[in-house]
Structure 1
Amino acid sequence: MAILSKIRERSMFLIIIIGLALFAFVLDPSTLGDFFNSSKVNQVGEINGESISRQEFSAELEAYKQQAGNGVSEMQASKNVWDNIVRKKIYQNQLSEAGITVGEADVWNEVINAPSVKDNPQFLNEAGLFDEAKFKQFLADTKENNPDMWRAWSNYMTQIRDNGERNTYNNLVTAGLGASLKEGEAQYFTDNTKLTTQFVFVPYTSISDSLVKVSKGEIESYIKAHENDFKVEASRDISYVKFDIKATPEDENNIKASVAELIEDFKTSTNEREFLSENDSDTSIDDSFKFEREVNVSVASEIFKGAKGDVFGPYKDQGYFKISKITDVTQMPDSARASHILIPFLGAQRVSPEVTRTEEEAKVLADSILTVVKRNKNKFADLAKELSSDKGSGAKGGDLDWFTYNRMTPAFRDFVFDGSIGDIGVVETPFGYHVIKIDGQKNKQTALKLATFGRQIIASEATENAVFQKSEQFALATSKDKKFFEIAKENKYTTRPAIGLKVLDENVPGLGNQRQIITWAFGKETKPGDFKRFDLEGSHVVAFVTAKTKKGLMSAAKATNRVKPILVNQKKAKLIAEKFNGSTLADIAKDNSTNVRNASGVNLKSPTLSGAGSEPKVVGAMFNAELNKVYKNIEGNRGVYAFAVTNKELPTALPNYETTRKSIAEARKRKTFAIYEAIKKASDVEDNRSNLYVGN
C-alpha cells in the first residue's frame, strides 16, 4: 500500500517525464534512447567512438590548472586539456590498430635513464653509480608520505608514457618516409631548370567591375562545390555599446584637493609606512632608491633639488594623484658589475630537482667558499664554474656583466650598489645563498628614497550612478522599440561589432576576457535581435545579437567578400579570352592593345614573371609546355596569359643525387606535426565541451 501511495503522489511527475520523452521521440525517434541515457549527459566528447566522460575531463583539467597556476584562463586550460586528450587517444588508437604497445617496462626505462634521475646524488650508491633500488625506495616513501610530490611523479610518468606512444608512432611512420635517388634527381632538375619565355599578360583590372555581375545563387553554388573550404563552426555576431565609468574633471579636482590636504601632516610624520596605512593610500611604500630619470618628469627636477623631509605634489602620475616625501638621500652608481656563486637549497625559488641540501647546509657551504675567495680572489672564477648552480654565469667564472639598480633581487642589489669595488660577501635571496664579488661601478649620482602617498583617480559615486543610468536608459529604449542601432545613432553612441564569436571563446574584441557575454550569446533562448546589459569592471555594456551562424557551410552573405572576387575574375577571364583569338603572341598582343613581354631565368622555386608578379600556376604550365608552341587563355592570379617557351636550360647533371635525396628525406621526417594533423582530420572527433560552459 505504501508503494502504491507513493506512485499516486508522484503520478503527475511521471506523466510529465513520459510526455516529454514521447514528444522528443515524435520530433526525432533516435533521441528517445538519449533521453534516458545518462552517459550522453555525462560526456564531453567522443574520439573514434570512445567516450570522454565529464569526470575524466574534469580530473585532467584540474590537474592542468594546478600545474599551470594563474597564468592560464579557464578556456585556455580547457582547450589545452582537450587537445592533449585528443592527441593521446588518437595515438593510442593508431598504435592499437598496429598491434604495438608501450608497456610499463618502456616507461620505467625512460624514467631511470633521464639525467635528472640517473645523475641525482640521492640515487647513487657508494661507487657513484645509479642504484635502481634506491630510486624505487624513494618512490615508495614518496607515495606513502608525500601525496603532492607523488602526484607530481605520477604526472611525470604519465607524460613519459604519452610521449613514448607519440614518439613510437612517429618513428614508425617516418622510418618509411625516405626518398629515392630518382626522386632526388627529379627534384634537382625541377629546382634548377630555367626557362626563357615570351608572354602576353592582360590583367583582370583591365575590365571594370561594373561590367561583371555575380548573383547570390552563383556564390551558393561555388560554396557547395568547395565545401571543405567553407565549413564553419557555430558562431554569433554581436554589436555593443560600451559606457565607460571614468572620472570627470570635477572628480579629479576633488581627489587632488583631498590629497593636498594631507601635505602638512605628511611633512611632520615620523613613520611614513604608518602614515600611508592610516590614510588608506592606494600606493604602498617602495624601499628602493630612485634616480631622477625614474621619477615623473613633471616633478623630477624639483624633487631632486629638495632635502630629506621635503614633500612635493600633488602631481598626476599613472592614474593617481600623488605626494612624495624624501626619506633618504645618497650617492650611488646607476650600474654595476658583479660576479656570484649561487648555492641553492631545498625550497628555494627555481631550484633544480636534484638539489637536496638544506638551508643550513647551503649557508655552511657558502661561508666556506667566502673564506677561500677572501683569502685568494683568483680562485673565485674556478669555484664559480665548479659549484655555482647558475650555469650561465658560472661558465663565465660567475660574471654577470653590467646591470642596472633595479635588475637584481633587493638583497643582492643592495649589497652591490651600497658596497665598494672589490667587496666580497654572502647574501641570502629567495634563490639561495650568493657569494658575491663587486667587480665595477659607474655613473655615481644622487639617488633618493621616496615615500609616496597615492590616491587612484576613479569616478565618484555620483559619476558611476550617472553612467549606469545612461546604460540603463539605452537598454530600456532598445527593449521598447527593438531599434538598437537607430537609438544608438540618435544618442551619438558608438556601436562596435564582434563578428564570428565561437562557443568556447572568451575574448570579445574591444572588451577583453568577457566569457559571460559569449555564454549569453550562445544560450538556447538567445536569438538575433536579443540584447542584454552587462556590468563590467570599469564600464557597462549593452550587447545586441546581430546574427546566429549554425555549424555547417558558411552562408552566402558571410562568404560574399571571399567568393565574389574569385567569381568576378573567372567571368573577366572569359571576357578576356574572347580577345585571345590570334595564332601568334604578336596578334594576341595587338588585339588587346598590349605588348609581348620577355622573361628569362624563370624557375619553379621562385615562380615570378617580370612585370606580372608571382604566378605559380602560369609558370607551372610553362614547365610542361612544348618549345615554341603558343598556349592561350591561362588564368593566373592577376590576369589571363598567353605564352610560348623559347628555351629550356637544364642544369648540369651530377654524378649522383644523394644530397638532394637526403634533403627530401629529412624534410619528410620533420613532418610529424603534419602527420598528426592528417590523422586527426581522418579521425572521428566530436567536441561537446560547450555543454559544460553554456547553460540551457
Structure 2
Amino acid sequence: MAVLSKIRERSMFLIIIIGLALFAFVLDPSTLGDFFNSSKINEVGEVNGESISRQEFANELEKYKQQVGGRVSEMQASKTVWDNILRKKIYKNQLEEAGISIGEADVWNEIISAQFVQNNPQYQNEAGLFDENKFKQFLADIKENNKLLWSQWSNYMNQIRDNSERNTYNNLVTAGLGASLQEGEFDYMVNNTKLNAQFVYVPYTSVADSLVKIKKSEIEAYIKKHSDEFQAEDSRDISFVKFDIVATPSDEEAIKNDVASLIKDFKIATDNKLFLSENDSDTSLNDNYQFKSSLNQKVADKIYEGEKGDVIGPYKDKGYFKISKITEVIQMPDSVKASHILIAHIGAQRVAPDVTRTEENAKKLADSLFDVIKRRRSKFGDLAKEYSSDKGSAEKDGDLDWFNYQRMTPAFRDYSFSGKKGDIDVVKSPFGYHIIRINEQKNKQKVMKLATYSRKIVASEATENQVYQKAQEFALAISKGNSSYFEIAKEKNYTTKPAVGLKTLDENVPGLGNQRSIVSWAFNSDTAVGDFKRFDLEGSNVVAFVTGASEKGLMSASKATGRVRPILVNKKKAALIKDKLEGDNLQNIAKKNATSVKKSNSITLKSPTLSGVGVEPKIVGAMFNAELNKIYNAIEGNRGVFSFKVTKRETPTALPNYDANRKRIADSRKRLTFKMYEAIKEASEIEDNRAVMYGGN
C-alpha cells in the first residue's frame, strides 16, 4: 500500500517522464533505449571524464567485503573502495598522458620475483630451483578447476598491476625531486642560525571581548575572500530525543525470581551443558578452572566456601542474574614456568611459510625428540635451538618464562597447570606438537570449575511498550503543530541532543552511534527542515527532528561563525593594540602598555618559540629577516601584537661540504608520495555520486 501511495503521489511526474520518452521515440526510436539506459543513471561517479559504473563499483565492493570478512561497515567499505578506484584511475590517467604503460611482462616478472612464489616447493624442480613452467601450469590448472583460488590469484595479479602503475609514476616524479648543494647550504645556515631578541608583547586577551563587535556582513565578506577554505558538502542538522529501554526494578526482580526457581533442578542435573541449553541460558558453559580473583568479588567468598554440587545465587554480575554450580574443586598453581619445543606443520596456526612437513611427519618428529629427551634431559635446550618453530623461545633453550592460566592455548595450559614440576610430554595444540617440560610452579591454591546459568537483565515487554508509548506521544504532540519540537520537549522535561553537520554518506550519529537509517532519512528528498520521525533502535526509541540543511557550496555565515569570528576578533583587537605599540624605544613602549621588555635567546627557525610567550612562527620569521638593533613595531602574531629588536645574530660555522644536507632534503622530498597523490587528486575532475546509491531519494 505504501508503494502504491507513492506512485499515486508522483503520478503526474511519471506521466511527464514517460511522455518525454515516447516523444523522443517518435523522433528517433533508438533514443528510447538511450533514455532509460543513460550512462549517467548507471554511474557512481566520474574521474577526469572516465565514468565509474555502478557495476564496476558493486563488483569491487563485493570483493573487498569478502576480503575483510564483514569486519567493516557498509559505508566504511564504500569509502575504501571508492578511494581505491580513484587512486587507480588517477594514476592510470597520469601514465597515459605521459605515454607510459605497464605491460603484461612487467606484471609477470613482478609476480615470479615474489619470495613466496620462488620458495614454494610446488613450483620448484628436482634441484629445488624455481621452475617458471611449473608455476604457469599451476595457474592454468586452478583457472580450469578451482574458480575460487583462481579468483584470489586474479585479484592478486590486478593488485600487482595497480601497485606497479603507482610505483612507476611515483618513481618518475621522485627522480626529478633532487636538491642542489646551494639548497643544502641554505638549509644548514637557516636551521642553525641563532638569534637573541628583546620584545614587548601585548596579548589579544588584554582587550575585552565586549569592546569588539563583529557583524554578520563581515563574516560573510571574510568567507567570500577565503572561499577555498569554506567549501561545504551537503549536510543536515538534526536534534533528537532518546527514550532508552531499560529494565525497571520490577523487571529485575521478575528475572531474579525466574533464575532462582531453577536452583533445585540445576542442583540435581547430571548434564550441566544440556541444562543450560534447555533452559535458555544467555551464556554457555565455561569448562575452564576459575580462580577466586577472577570471580565477582561480591560473591567470590560465598562460592569458595561451597563444596562440589552446591549452587550459589542468584547474584547480579555484568548485566546478568546468575546461579553458579560448583562442579570440581582442586588445588592448582596460579603461575607456571615451562619450556617447549614446537614442531609446526602445514595447516597449523601462524605457521611460517618455509614449514613444509605434514601433520603426520610433525607427530613422528615430536615423538622422536621426546624419546631422546627422556633418555638425556640435558639435550632439551640443544634440540629446541635446532628444531623448534618458536624461534623466540628456541634462542633461550625453549624457555617460556612464567605465565598465568589465561595466557596459553587450552591444551598447553591444561598440561602445564595440571601436571607437576619436572613432567615432560608431547601435547598437540592448534600451533602444532609441543614437547613441554614443566620447570617450576608457584602459589598453589584452591580453584574450581563452575557451571553458571545466566539470564540477561533486559526490559520486559510491558516496559518496552511504555517507552514506545512515550516516544509515540511525543511524536504525536509535534505533529499537531500547536507547539514546536523544542517547546514540547522542554514541557515534558526531555533532553534534546544535537547532531550537527551530518554528511550524506555518514553512518554515525553523535550520541547514537551507527544509525545509517537516520542519516538516510535526513537526506531523503521528501524530508525537509522541520520534519520529524520516530525510529525503533536497539535498546531505545528515538524521535529525530531536522533543524537545518546546507547544500553543497560556500559555507553559510551561521555555519562558519565558529571559525571566522575568533580570526576577526583578533584582527580588530590587533588594530586597537597597534596604536599603543608605536615608538623608537622598547622601554617606553613597554611602559606605555604597563608591561615589561622581555628577552629570548638562541631563537631558531626550527623551533620558533619565544620565552614566556610560546610558539610564534610569524614573529620569529620576521626576526630572521630583521636588521640588528632596529625597532620593528606592531607585528601581529598568533597570541598578540609585538614590537621587537634583534640584538644578536649568531651564524653557524661553515661546512666544507653540504652534500649531507642536500641528500637529506632530496630524500625527504622523495618520501612525500602521499602528498604528490593528494596534489594530483586535487587537480583532477572528480564527481562523486555515491549519495545517489546510499542517500535517500
TM-score range relative to shorter protein? over 0.9
In the alignment, which residue of structure 2 is the partner of 1:135? 135
TM (norm. structure 2) is: 0.93
In the alignment, which residue of structure 2 is the partner of 1:9? none
Question: For the Cα contact (< 8 Å) 1:333–1:417, is it kept in 2?
Answer: yes
**2:201 partner letter:** F
**Does 1:649 find its partner at 2:650?**
yes
Q: Could you tell me how far 1:326 is from its partner in structure 2?
A: 0.5
**Does 1:621 find its partner at 2:622?**
yes
* Residue deviations 1:144-190 (CA, integer Å, cap 9, x gap): 22222111111111111111111121122222212111111111111
Tell me, in whole angstroms, the C-alpha distance in 2 between the residues paired with 1:61 and 1:352.
Answer: 31
In the alignment, which residue of structure 1 is the partner of 2:192? 192
Tell me, in whole angstroms, the C-alpha distance in 2 between the residues paired with 1:645 and 1:384.
Answer: 68
**Does 1:575 find its partner at 2:587?**
no
In the alignment, which residue of structure 2 is the partner of 1:3? none
In the alignment, which residue of structure 2 is the partner of 1:114? 114
Question: For the Cα contact (< 8 Å) 1:283–1:453, is it kept in 2?
Answer: yes
* Residue deviations 1:71-122 (CA, integer Å, cap 9, x gap): 1111111111111111111111111222222222122122112111111222
In the alignment, which residue of structure 2 is the partner of 1:538? 539
Tell me, in whole angstroms, the C-alpha distance in 1 between the residues paired with 2:297 and 2:572.
Answer: 63
Distance 1:35 1:524, change over 3 A: farther
Tell me, in whole angstroms, the C-alpha distance in 2 between the residues paired with 1:241 and 1:455.
Answer: 30
Q: Could you say what secondary structure the match of 1:258 adopts?
A: helix
Tell me, in whole angstroms, the C-alpha distance in 2 between the residues paired with 1:83 and 1:64.
Answer: 12
**Does 1:483 find its partner at 2:514?**
no
Tell me, in whole angstroms, the C-alpha distance in 1 between the residues paired with 2:628 and 2:404.
Answer: 69
Q: Could you say what secondary structure the match of 1:41 adopts?
A: coil
Distance 1:579 1:110, change over 3 A: same
* Residue deviations 1:468-524 (CA, integer Å, cap 9, x gap): 101111111111126111111111111111111111111111211111111111111
**Identity, % of aligned pairs?**
69
Q: Could you say what secondary structure the match of 1:575 adopts?
A: helix
Tell me, in whole angstroms, the C-alpha distance in 2 between the residues paired with 1:261 and 1:119.
Answer: 64
In the alignment, which residue of structure 1 is the partner of 2:430? 430
Distance 1:364 1:116, change over 3 A: same
Tell me, in whole angstroms, the C-alpha distance in 2 between the residues paired with 1:38 and 1:387.
Answer: 65
Q: Could you say what secondary structure the match of 1:71 adopts?
A: coil
Tell me, in whole angstroms, the C-alpha distance in 2 between the residues paired with 1:13 and 1:629.
Answer: 75
Report 1:545-560 matches (<5 A).
545-560=546-561
* Residue deviations 1:131-150 (CA, integer Å, cap 9, x gap): 11222222222222222211
Tell me, in whole angstroms, the C-alpha distance in 1 between the residues paired with 2:424 and 2:535.
Answer: 59
In the alignment, which residue of structure 2 is the partner of 1:694? 695
* Residue deviations 1:651-680 (CA, integer Å, cap 9, x gap): 111111222222212211211111111111
In the alignment, which residue of structure 1 is the partner of 2:63? 63
**1:400 partner letter:** L
Q: Could you tell me how far 1:371 is from its partner in structure 2?
A: 3.2
Report 1:138-287 matches (<5 A).
138-287=138-287
Report 1:570-649 matches (<5 A).
570-649=571-650
* Residue deviations 1:234-258 (CA, integer Å, cap 9, x gap): 1111111111111100111111111
Question: For the Cα contact (< 8 Å) 1:121–1:354, is it kept in 2?
Answer: no
Tell me, in whole angstroms, the C-alpha distance in 2 between the residues paired with 1:151 and 1:376.
Answer: 52
Q: Which moved more, 1:133-142 or 1:513-522?
A: 133-142
Q: Could you tell me how far 1:587 is from its partner in structure 2?
A: 3.2
Q: Which moved more, 1:423-432 or 1:379-388?
A: 379-388
Q: Could you tell me how far 1:401 is from its partner in structure 2?
A: 2.9
Q: Could you tell me how far 1:343 is from its partner in structure 2?
A: 3.8
**2:448 partner letter:** L
Report 1:218-617 matches (<5 A).
218-352=218-352, 357-481=357-481, 483-617=484-618
**1:304 partner letter:** Y
In the alignment, which residue of structure 2 is the partner of 1:6? none
* Residue deviations 1:262-312 (CA, integer Å, cap 9, x gap): 212222222211221222211211100000001110110111121111111
Q: Could you say what secondary structure the match of 2:302 adopts?
A: helix
**1:578 partner letter:** D
**2:495 partner letter:** T
Distance 1:40 1:388, change over 3 A: farther
Distance 1:406 1:41, change over 3 A: same
Q: Which moved more, 1:117-126 or 1:66-75?
A: 117-126
Q: Could you tell me how far 1:432 is from its partner in structure 2?
A: 3.3
Q: Could you tell me how far 1:68 is from its partner in structure 2?
A: 0.3
**1:194 partner letter:** K
Distance 1:38 1:79, change over 3 A: same
Q: Could you tell me how far 1:595 is from its partner in structure 2?
A: 2.4
Tell me, in whole angstroms, the C-alpha distance in 2 between the residues paired with 1:680 and 1:225.
Answer: 24
Q: Could you tell me how far 1:397 is from its partner in structure 2?
A: 4.2
In the alignment, which residue of structure 1 is the partner of 2:8? none
**Does 1:664 find its partner at 2:665?**
yes
Tell me, in whole angstroms, the C-alpha distance in 2 between the residues paired with 1:218 and 1:311.
Answer: 75
Tell me, in whole angstroms, the C-alpha distance in 2 between the residues paired with 1:179 and 1:496.
Answer: 54
Question: For the Cα contact (< 8 Å) 2:201–2:643, is it kept in 1?
Answer: yes
Tell me, in whole angstroms, the C-alpha distance in 2 between the residues paired with 1:447 and 1:23.
Answer: 85
Question: For the Cα contact (< 8 Å) 1:199–1:642, is it kept in 2?
Answer: yes
Q: Could you say what secondary structure the match of 2:149 adopts?
A: helix
Question: For the Cα contact (< 8 Å) 1:34–1:40, is it kept in 2?
Answer: no
Q: Could you say what secondary structure the match of 1:38 adopts?
A: coil
Distance 1:372 1:104, change over 3 A: farther
Distance 1:45 1:384, change over 3 A: farther
TM (norm. structure 1) is: 0.93
Q: Could you say what secondary structure the match of 1:46 adopts?
A: strand
Tell me, in whole angstroms, the C-alpha distance in 2 between the residues paired with 1:515 and 1:15.
Answer: 33
Tell me, in whole angstroms, the C-alpha distance in 2 between the residues paired with 1:71 and 1:394.
Answer: 35
Distance 1:437 1:140, change over 3 A: farther
**1:576 partner letter:** I
Tell me, in whole angstroms, the C-alpha distance in 2 between the residues paired with 1:124 and 1:235.
Answer: 58
**1:652 partner letter:** T
Question: For the Cα contact (< 8 Å) 1:384–1:397, is it kept in 2?
Answer: yes
Tell me, in whole angstroms, the C-alpha distance in 2 between the residues paired with 1:221 and 1:23.
Answer: 48
Q: Could you say what secondary structure the match of 1:241 adopts?
A: strand
Distance 1:576 1:17, change over 3 A: same
**1:546 partner letter:** T
**1:180 partner letter:** S
Tell me, in whole angstroms, the C-alpha distance in 1 between the residues paired with 2:329 and 2:16.
Answer: 81
Tell me, in whole angstroms, the C-alpha distance in 2 between the residues paired with 1:320 and 1:103.
Answer: 62
Report 1:77-96 matches (<5 A).
77-96=77-96
Distance 1:395 1:236, change over 3 A: farther
Tell me, in whole angstroms, the C-alpha distance in 2 between the residues paired with 1:434 and 1:81.
Answer: 43
Runs of 4+ in 1 over 6 A off after TM superposition: 21-24
Q: Could you tell me how far 1:581 is from its partner in structure 2?
A: 3.2
Q: Could you tell me how far 1:537 is from its partner in structure 2?
A: 0.9
What is the aligned length? Answer: 678
Q: Could you tell me how far 1:363 is from its partner in structure 2?
A: 3.1
Tell me, in whole angstroms, the C-alpha distance in 2 between the residues paired with 1:325 and 1:646.
Answer: 82
Tell me, in whole angstroms, the C-alpha distance in 1 between the residues paired with 2:340 and 2:97.
Answer: 56
**1:336 partner letter:** V
Tell me, in whole angstroms, the C-alpha distance in 1 between the residues paired with 2:141 and 2:121.
Answer: 17
Tell me, in whole angstroms, the C-alpha distance in 1 between the residues paired with 2:35 and 2:623.
Answer: 62
Tell me, in whole angstroms, the C-alpha distance in 2 between the residues paired with 1:534 and 1:600.
Answer: 63
**2:367 partner letter:** D
Q: Could you tell me how far 1:51 is from its partner in structure 2?
A: 0.6
* Residue deviations 1:205-246 (CA, integer Å, cap 9, x gap): 222111111111110111111112111211111111111111
Q: Could you say what secondary structure the match of 2:69 adopts?
A: helix
Question: For the Cα contact (< 8 Å) 2:582–2:634, is it kept in 1?
Answer: no
**2:690 partner letter:** R
Distance 1:33 1:553, change over 3 A: farther
Distance 1:352 1:524, change over 3 A: farther
Tell me, in whole angstroms, the C-alpha distance in 1 between the residues paired with 2:256 and 2:563.
Answer: 54
**2:628 partner letter:** L
Tell me, in whole angstroms, the C-alpha distance in 2 between the residues paired with 1:654 and 1:593.
Answer: 46
